[in-house]
Amino acid sequence: MSLPYDSSRRKFMKQCVIGGVTIYSAPMLMNSVHAAENNPIEKIRANWSTDNKPNFRFDAIEKVTGQKIYGRDYRAVDMPDWPNEQHHALIIRASIANRVYLGFDISFLPADIQPYKVITAEDLAANNIDLIEEFGGNMLLEKGKTPDYLGQEIAVLLFDSFAAFNKAKGRIQFNKDVVQYGEQTAVVADAKDPYAAWRIVREEGPLGLADHYSTLQDGLFFPNYVERRPVWPDAENSMADNGKRGMYYAEQLQNDVANRDDWFVLDRTYQTQSIEPMAFEPESYNGWYDRAAKTLHIVISSQSAQHFYYHAGHVIAKSPLASDIKNVVVHTPYIGGGFGAKDHTQFAYYGILASMFAKAPVRIANDRFEQFQYGLKRHPFKMANQLAFDKKTKKITGLVSDMEVDGGGRINFSGSVTMVGASALQGVYYIPRNDITAVCYPSQTPHAGSMRGYGTLQSMSAMEMMFNEAAAELDIDPIELRKINALKPGERNTQGARPNGDMRYVEMLEMAEKHPTWINRQSAKQAFEAKNPGKLYGVGFGIVSKDYGTGAAAPSSSVELTPEGKIIVKTCSVEMGTGIDTSQGNLVSKYLGSAADEVEMAVTEEFDAMELFDTDSPYIISQDRQDEMSNNPRWTPVVSMATAASMSSFYQTQTTEQAARILFEKTLFPAAVEIWRNRYFNGELATPDFLDISEARWSEQGLTIKGYPPIDLATLASKAHLDGMITGVMTHAFNRWAWASAEFEINGELQRYPLDAIAVKRGIGARNVKTNRFGYQVIERKSVDYPKTQLNNAMVTYYAPCATLAEIAVEKASGKVEILSTHTWLEPGKVLVEQLVEGQIEGGLTMGVGHALYEYLPRNEHGAGNGTWNLNRYQVPLAQHNGVWNMNYTLLPPLSESDPAKGIGEVVMIPVVPALIEAIYQATNTRFYHTPVRAKDIVEAL
């Protein structure tokens, strides 16, 4: 088999065969005609890190010089061996979801701008094409049916020139006469069962003993659906039925909440809004079906490249239209912002559809109107919460919550977001008894997905708003009430699981209560309002603890040394603006003495060198099944993972750091010992005193130990290659709220690593080493210890805390909120790159401000799904809204140098919301129970 490019140079690797289609993955490279322009860039990048600290981001040069690095940047002319011809596709979508679709009419277009192909549901049926099952099918709307949701795809139009495409789009996009509708009907979503329903019940046991009941201990239980509403089991204290027993304790708690006179119960309902993620780069696709080579080439912009990679073949495998396709090559470039908006979206599958009918490379690229109409949104939550306190001790006695979540028109991560939102409701507090119900319903709105915050922004903001109000009702300082109720190490969460590590909540609260803005808030209010009679002053506080991880994290990395001593790092993560390439490229310096010279992101195919496979869902697999499969050294619960804002610093770091560690322990240090022994020690007469690897240190000159001459990395790498030592290490890990560990025999030594797969590559001097087609030798694990499947019931155990203090002014006449200052406290664990953490804090503040004060989309036919929304109607916070000159932060130092880095990409925005809402109350003496609180809301209240 031959491919129409230099496969060795491109490092294409055969990955898998799906329905007879071989899937390949490829790095995103610029056209070779521009290669000469890159030489100066590489020279500058050679100095990107000094003294093991980055001088600038690894991808900074391309960004500031305007190079093509994002998927949206690439045209056919930029792709090696593609035709120099670019076609374009336009998707027609429904803007109404309560009337029958009758068809569409584009006959008014002049002949010179008519599409050469119109793809409809009839074409899909004739060619056996549809979306993958998890998206629910119904790829294009059939005539005679009501749209499933606002913005549902109706047809794909193909044009052979940009001029024709652009002119046609201008006449079609906002033309209400293009799509024809018939009689009015009910909304399709109203006839569907919920996407998911969760119930988290806990009844604490005696001090130090097991809970009477908890999700972790007793398992999950689920409802039946009657007329599309959940019906939960009957309440009964039955040891034989955990559902009935869970409902028994839920009923007991509800009765106490309703009847206990010694309890103070705050009963409030909160509503959050639908939000557009507003990633810098709207979604795009470019693809070419090379019929001569029977190969489909694809350029995608996705946070979950691996997911697309493994599923692309399924879309076309059954279609006679694609019967000649033998290879699919997937290019994954950097993406311009993610925020969850590009995680598991179906956009690229419409690109595949267009490519199969197109006559040349075809591009689909949303403009901002289309991204608003189509793109994933943040789930709106409605939460009816009852939070009970003991009137004397001020300690929480119970929590009852009933959440309804709007999942949008097509299922995405709605079930998971609903579960995470429910499990996060407790925030930073210990809650001895809880009954938390969360149900996610389909709706006519655009799809909702894994937008930044993943349900926790909605639920934890509400909890913090309740705490601020409860403090006022109980006549106690808000931070003091929090200190009384803060979860302490060893205490259990609402699922009955113990969070990992020391949360340091009280430490953070004590720092906040000593801040001058908090101490002086009353006197400052009087002075400010006296000086500014047209304004009101307020200070608010919020503290949260966001989980990071999915309970099925599966990172992969490789670290390799060239004969010249260059370091190459490869990871499965996608760079989406979070600086993953920078942090991963820099952290290897701990073991290798220098940062990486090359960093490749979104690597997929090459990690198949570990020859891993999975079989079952890691969330529902039984313990017996896991034990059975664990006997196969090639099996893992999950092969790959998507990229999320809170995954890289902890999870991706695990495999990158372990790969560098193995390379140091098994190659660099032994090579150095041999050089020291032979050149600088009388090895034939005595035993060396430099064999303790823990005493080795990297200096500017190289690796040294106990006063022996430093040996530079280039010398060690050259020796390693000539001697056929290990020069490349590839690793895979699995985490279900704890790392799997396994024993491996490397170079004759048996050792346990927090990994479940290792493969190695040896230097050019290696002889008689059997490798697979990737050039790697798999090191079979001797034994493995996977976290028990029961930990799935824990839902979350890794947390990162963050607090925000906000000082604001409210203009009486307009209701405009001016942020005077903010201070954020964050416990990030070990900081990999401080500037990246600082950037997350700043970006998180902006997104929190947007959620609290500005960003809003109606959830009906007037919202984003009608295709008319853009930044002219949708207010995102600008520099003037953020108080940019008074943004301050404190990073809590790690407890020790062994602290891991924590995932903080999401938590930094969450406490901003309740802090601002409380500050508005302190200014206006009016409480709000919805987001956003816009200027018009404040004016009406005043």
Q: Give yes or no for residue 10 having a pLDDT over 70.
A: no
> What token pair was written down for 351?
């690109």
Q: Is the pLDDT score of 559 beyond 90?
A: yes
921 vs 67, residue with greater confidence: 921
Please give the angle made by the CA atoms of 39, 41 and 45, to the nearest 5 degrees: 120
On the question of pLDDT at 38 being above 70, the answer is no
Q: Is 381-549+796-941 CATH 3.90.1150.60?
A: no
pLDDT of residue 914: 98
Q: How confident is residue 25, by pLDDT bands cut at 50, 70 and 90?
A: low
In our burial notation (b when 16+ CB lie closer than 10 A, e otherwise), range 793-817 reads bbbbbbbbbbbbbbbbbbbbeebbb
Q: Which CATH class is domain 556-794?
A: alpha beta
Structure tokens at 717: 């790498």
CA distance 282 to 280: 7
CA pair distance 577, 337, nearest whole angstrom? 6
Residue 15's pLDDT band, with cuts at 50, 70 and 90, is very low
Confidence of residue 361 (pLDDT cuts 50, 70, 90): very high
Strand intervals (E) in 794-848:
799-811, 817-826
CA distance 379 to 861: 17
Identify the pLDDT of residue 27: 58
Tokens for 264, please give them: 């103070």
pLDDT at 51 (0 to 100)? 82
Give the model's pLDDT for residue 171.
98
Rounded CA separation 453/855 (Å): 15
Look at residue 26 and tell me whether its pLDDT is greater than 80. no
Kindly state the DSSP code that residue 787 receives in the 8-state scheme. P
CA distances from 160 to 83, 363, 365 (A): 13, 11, 15
pLDDT at 648: 85
**How sure is the predictor about 339, in pLDDT bands with cuts at 50, 70 and 90?**
confident
The predicted model gives 100-115 an average pLDDT of 98
Q: Which residue has the higher pLDDT, 595 or 322?
A: 595
Average pLDDT over residues 885-910: 95
- Which of helix, strand or coil describes residue 328? strand
642 closest CA partner among 595, 580, 587, 583:
580
* Nearest to 466, CA basis, from 647, 760, 269: 269
Q: Which tens digits make up the pLDDT trace of 276-306?
A: 999 989 999 999 999 999 999 999 988 887 7
- Amino acid at site 422: A
How confident is the model over 721-726, as a mean pLDDT? 97
DSSP state of 525: H
Identical fold at 76-186+292-365 and 556-794? no
CA distance 846 to 836: 15
Q: What is the pLDDT of residue 454?
A: 93
Q: Omega into 533 within 30° of 0, i.e. cis?
A: no
Chain centroid, CA 210 distance in Å: 34
pLDDT of residue 19: 56
Tell me the three state secondary structure of residue 871.
coil
In the chain, count H helices and then E strands. Answer: 25, 35
Distance CA 597, CA 565 (A): 9
What is the rounded CA–CA span in Å between residue 522 and residue 517?
9
For 829-867, the pLDDT digits (tens) are 999 999 999 999 999 999 999 999 999 999 999 999 999
- Helix H or strand E encompassing 584: helix 580-587
Query: Once rounded to an integer, what is the mean pLDDT over residues 876-901?
Result: 94
DSSP designation for 830: S
Residue 4 has pLDDT above 70, yes or no: no
pLDDT of residue 448: 93
Q: What is the mean pLDDT of residues 105-134?
A: 94
| Percentage above 90 pLDDT, the chain | 82
Phi-psi region of 475 (alpha: psi -120 to 50; beta: other; left: phi over 0): left
Give the C-alpha separation, 213 to 239, whole Å: 11
Name the β-bridge partners of 226: 229
User: For tokens 């690796």, what's the residue?
Assistant: 703
Instruction: Give CA–CA dist 923/810, Å, rounded.
Output: 7
**Hey, which CATH number is domain 76-186+292-365, 3.40.50.920, 3.30.420.40, 1.20.1250.20, 3.90.1170.50?**
3.90.1170.50
Q: Directed axis angle between helix 456-474 and helix 414-424, to 10°?
A: 20
Does residue 924 contact residue 810 with C-beta atoms inside 8 Å? yes
∠ CA 730-735-738, nearest 5°, is 125
**Residue 885 C-alpha from the chain's centroid:** 29
194 φ, ψ to 5°? -55, 150
In the predicted structure, residue 12 carries a pLDDT above the cut 80:
no
Residues 6+ apart with CB under 8 A from 600: 27, 568, 569, 570, 571
Structure tokens at 343: 């995680």
Res. 923 pLDDT band, cuts 50 70 90:
very high
Q: Are 882 and 390 in contact (CB under 8 A)?
A: no
Domain chopping of the chain, boundaries? 34-67, 76-186+292-365, 381-549+796-941, 556-794
Residues 529 and 561: their CA atoms lie apart, in Å, by 64
Strand extents, DSSP E, 169-231: 179-184, 196-203, 224-226, 229-231
| Distance between CA atoms of residues 918 and 937, nearest Å | 15
For 436-463, what is each residue's pLDDT tens digit? Answer: 999 999 999 999 998 999 999 999 999 9
Total-model pTM: 0.94
Between 525 and 603, the higher pLDDT residue: 525
